[in-house]
Structure 1
């Protein structure tokens, strides 16, 4: 079996990476291999086409390959709340939480990730066209099998190719430690419009066909993820073991601290309020034409395993 993530050298989908590398899937009787497929819509397309069995990705990206959520379900959350950061050039001296600092800037963001930033700006009263905000791809971010978006964005910022980026915690940390950027918005922790933290979240998804044909394997995947959360909470020092042969030394040196920082958000639960927030975001951005019912988006038969 294959579990795919859209960004590998990242904190965004780390519980799924750790579940593979720390052997938690194996202990549940599943032979699971990790694969990077970018951007996130391609990850969902692979899930739809059956070339992978699980996608660890952004919940709001499911409709990119499963229109109106027909044919896929979320098994559990990898973590809670929207997990991307707005990082701007350090020389701009933008204050923490000052979203107006994006005016007139070039901001790098990945496909389907960019909608989170676009909605955040709109909710903050910033008009992309009027205020001269240019949101687009990061040069070279999807070139090569080993390219990962957040780290690529941090390098592009340092090289002066962009004025800022909207990406994961690893990319943000690399930019801050290099002296190239400052974190301006961390929506997960309350920066920006209050509703922004609930736009989306990272989740483990699979197809309805897989659940129908392999219900016990789907249950085993949920158990593996829950146990991974428990192990990381008990000992964040396990995080570097999970990055062995994946992360370069620079990012391996950061991962324990970053995972320890994110542990308060490590919960597999998907509440009805969480889905309501996701629905508000998806409908506002035209990703779906109508809100999806909780039972149509979440594999509720496995919810008891979240505890």
Structure 2
């Protein structure tokens, strides 16, 4: 099993300027550095802003297995605390690619901060909203404290939509708090919060606690139908700015080729094998626990990174229903699957 040198850049100080202000037209950002592999034989450096989670397992596999190097790329991971800041960092020029749940980029797109989805890691979304045992339904959370993740993030939007559908007003009927996601299950156990967003990062811990109740769980078909409105919901994606895609199509193609190899590798190996490859990217987590988390997500991983028009429309419709955007953003304006299609044609991933 081939493992590459880990080169993770930790972001200690984040830029807290407004996410969308002053970024109306992104042009000439992240242009190709000199010394690209095509001209000198050296690896082309690219940076990916990311916030480390099992949903992006295929990309991490491509990184650890040396697939980006095979495609002429020296990929560096810039780890940031959450999706919105990953996206911001890409648009301020700190990276060429970012991982993200689409709600943030769709809102930015509506405000002319243009990005392009170049691949998805998941074909659907596994999100859950859980509570302490005394809460039997969402309406019972009136007067309670809830963890909904970082304001502006996709989990936050998901939780707010659930609460508002139940007739609860944020700040009046429900108090939202932000916690380190590693502390969420413990906070539920101590009754410091009465409900919380969880996903594959803490499903296992939650399931080991007696009395935690799943109020909403999109792994259940009925909840996916109610809240996502579609079997296909490719919201966890890799993006680059529209300008970077247009100016550097060869680099984008190389990045997608390698990522598709990671997706394909996962289709043909066990979760335990994947966890062994990724263990050093998840320090402090036992390999067996990482394998369990990957296995939980097994049914959601995309086989080839392709975003269908139907799936993208479901993500856009959810964002409209949640009040994130107001317009119908078209498939052509938000997604470019030409790179995935070429990777499939070249045999790097399975066909649809």
Q: TM-score, normalised by structure 2?
A: 0.73
Residue equivalent to 1:145:
none
Residue equivalent to 2:56:
13
Cα distance between partner residues in 1 of 2:308 and 2:196: 30
* Max Rg structure: 2
Residue equivalent to 2:204:
173
Listed one character per residue, the Cα deviations across residues 98-133 of structure 1 (whole Å, up to 9, x for unaligned) are 5555454322012222111222344xx401139975
Task: Select between 247-256 and 130-139 the one with higher mean Cα deviation.
Answer: 130-139
Q: CA deviation at 1:249?
A: 4.1
Cα distance between partner residues in 1 of 2:245 and 2:131: 42
Cα distance between partner residues in 2 of 1:38 and 1:249: 17
Kept in 1: contact 2:260–2:340 (CA 8 A): no
Cα distance between partner residues in 1 of 2:209 and 2:286: 12
SS at match of 2:254: helix
Residue equivalent to 2:144:
105
Summarize the Cα distance change of 1:68–1:289 in structure 2 as closer, same or farther, 3 Å threshold.
farther
Q: CA deviation at 1:231?
A: 1.1
Residue equivalent to 1:129:
169
Q: CA deviation at 1:76?
A: 1.0
Cα distance between partner residues in 2 of 1:222 and 1:130: 40
Cα distance between partner residues in 2 of 1:79 and 1:262: 9
Q: CA deviation at 1:239?
A: 2.2
Question: Which structure is higher in helix share?
Answer: 1
Cα distance between partner residues in 2 of 1:130 and 1:299: 36
- Aligned counterparts, 1:165-244, within 5 A: 165-179=196-210, 181-192=212-223, 194-197=225-228, 198=230, 201-235=235-269, 236-244=271-279
SS at match of 1:92: coil
Point out which structure has higher relative CO (alpha carbons under 8 A, 6+ apart).
Answer: 1
Residue equivalent to 2:27:
none
Residue equivalent to 1:156:
187
Q: TM-score, normalised by structure 1?
A: 0.83
Residue equivalent to 1:4:
49
**Among candidates 283, 288, 299, match of residue 253 of structure 1:** 288
**Among candidates 288, 298, 302, match of residue 263 of structure 1:** 298
**Among candidates 146, 152, 160, match of residue 118 of structure 1:** 160
Residue equivalent to 1:146:
none
**Unpaired runs of at least 5, structure 2:** 1-45, 345-350
Cα distance between partner residues in 1 of 2:170 and 2:329: 33
Kept in 1: contact 2:98–2:238 (CA 8 A): yes
Task: Select between 99-108 and 270-279 the one with higher mean Cα deviation.
Answer: 99-108
SS at match of 2:183: helix
Q: Over aligned residue pairs, what C-alpha RMSD do you find?
A: 2.7
Cα distance between partner residues in 2 of 1:183 and 1:243: 29
Q: CA deviation at 1:205?
A: 0.8
Kept in 2: contact 1:158–1:175 (CA 8 A): no
Kept in 2: contact 1:82–1:196 (CA 8 A): no
Listed one character per residue, the Cα deviations across residues 132-155 of structure 1 (whole Å, up to 9, x for unaligned) are 75252323x2xxxxxxx3x23223
Kept in 1: contact 2:110–2:329 (CA 8 A): no
Q: CA deviation at 1:160?
A: 3.3
Q: Does 1:29 align with 2:72?
A: yes
Q: CA deviation at 1:206?
A: 0.8
Q: CA deviation at 1:31?
A: 1.0
Summarize the Cα distance change of 1:22–1:104 in structure 2 as closer, same or farther, 3 Å threshold.
farther
SS at match of 1:42: helix
